[in-house]
Chain A
């Protein structure tokens, strides 16, 4: 376990203490320690699914200083608009043993493969907190391909992972898709840093296509075109 992970887990746990009753916290602690001690993977899967039954599904109320602490623990981490069950699910994922890389990645892939919407959102929002992040690029790109908007948004919005790990092809597709499904570009991290000339061209083409069909074009598109051209 790296020190970063200890502190992200500790932070999440401290937030949950304010939102979950004693019985729920006891359950969570029990499951965390079972998972951390390498219990059968089924224990992790069932606990991960059943989490809302023990934690409820209220909004996670974070203060400004909570969010600042998050950004210090992991640069770019911004758990805004999280729910209590999402935070608890992520805590369980962070409890997985990480020494054996292939075992860890296999377990993650299995849980992704059988996940429902709420579980997918939790998993994709956890991307910046997971170990072996370079190995998760294909999985993250799969999230961008989702037609379920909240799953797409879980990867694309308020998430430092794409800007840090996506190549230009994956990045540009994500930006274009965000416009296409109406997700706000200003919630995408690293927009300026990752602006590139190919993206500018794609955006202009997309705008022409919209205009030819008498459809509106988001003002955010033109701002991004400007930034992308300045860089070229």
Chain B
């Protein structure tokens, strides 16, 4: 990918408008509370992408996958909108559960029903976990589907044997004829980032305590590799994770002297540039929408369950009425 394709941060006059806009392009909101949505919005997050993943407990029936996909394009999208956050998702069979081949086969049958729906920005998160033959098979089957439908791909790189797994994931993408500029490689670290960037893919980093990337390390990554094609996300889920990882990382970058244009690129602009190639996400989705939809969901009617629509800060008020 050459630099001309990367949308450079806008002119200085616009900097003010974006300085508090963030996108969290990888977060499992299904596992989070509405309180998280409130504090995320207060911290400047305007859009989230929720990749289909496993839920901590392996599923045993294809029907539970269908209900999960339904909630990603239904309830979760609605729930986010209640707090002024635009919710997008990626659809796919994750590598962990691809090891149950009978189930994976049935999920493959379901995918065409969901991958073309509105707000589905990619096929993902797919890739390797234990790097078994079954994982390889369903990873490649989904790469073929992405190619057939001209869709973006979000790659989950394995936690164990990461460096080899990351190279292998990219090899498979190239083998199946995918353009690296349309593939996002996630959960990178110091060991993988160079190869991912050199080969023309997007390099996403997950700020996740203990197991993945810390944000002090993230600052060093940006100092060393710049901001081109680098994306920061939280992957917050049902584990010890932080739904404010993106805004907190942006804050730390500013404190440690990273230029504002770089901060905006890795915490907002790049995710938008990468995923807007899908035609399913664009800046006007949140710039043009009302600040909060709680009173605006349908024909201007209030929509809360007997509660007052509120835009007040959650910390502003100790009264619970």
Contact = CB atoms under 8 A, between A and B. Distances in A.
B106 to A, nearest CB: 14
Given A147-B75, A148-B74, A149-B297, A181 B116 contact: no
Nearest to A120: B74
A109 to B, nearest CB: 13
A49 to B, nearest CB: 5
Given A49-B117, A50-B116, A181-B305, A150 B298 contact: yes
Nearest to B67: A113
B301 A182 contact: yes
A153 B298 contact: yes
A53 interface: yes
A157 interface: yes
Given A148-B74, A180-B306, A215-B306, A116 B117 contact: yes
Query: Which of B69, B74, B304 is most buried by chain A, counting CB atoms within 10 A of its CB?
Result: B74
Contacts of A46: 112, 116
Contacts of B69: 114
Contacts of A79: none
A181 B305 CA distance: 5
B299 A45 contact: no
A59 to B, nearest CB: 11
A135 to B, nearest CB: 23
B226 interface: no
- Which of the four size classes fits the interface of chain A? 20 to 34
Contacts of A149: 78, 297-298, 301, 303
Contact of B112 (A42, A52, A182): A42
B299 A153 contact: yes
Interface string B88-122: 00000000000000000000000011101111000
A148 B119 CA distance: 17
B43 interface: no
A81 interface: yes
Contacts of A5: none
A131 interface: no
A38 interface: no
B70 interface: yes
A224 B146 CA distance: 54
Nearest to B69: A114
A68 B283 CA distance: 38
B73 A153 contact: no
Nearest to B304: A182
A114 B66 contact: yes
A98 interface: no
Contacts of A187: 299
B131 interface: no
B302 interface: yes
B297 A150 contact: yes
A116 B306 contact: no
Contacts of A113: 66, 70
Contacts of B301: 149, 153, 157, 182-184
Interface string A168-206: 000000000000111110010000000000000000000
Nearest to B115: A49
B212 to A, nearest CB: 30
A62 interface: no
Query: Which of A49, A154, A215 is most buried by chain B, counting CB atoms within 10 A of its CB?
Result: A49
A157 B279 CA distance: 32
Contacts of A138: none
Nearest to A118: B118
B116 A116 contact: no
B80 to A, nearest CB: 11
Nearest to B110: A114
Interface of B: 66, 69-70, 73-75, 77-78, 112-114, 116-119, 279, 297-299, 301-306
Q: 3 smallest A-B Cβ distances: which pairs? A: A149-B303, A182-B302, A116-B73
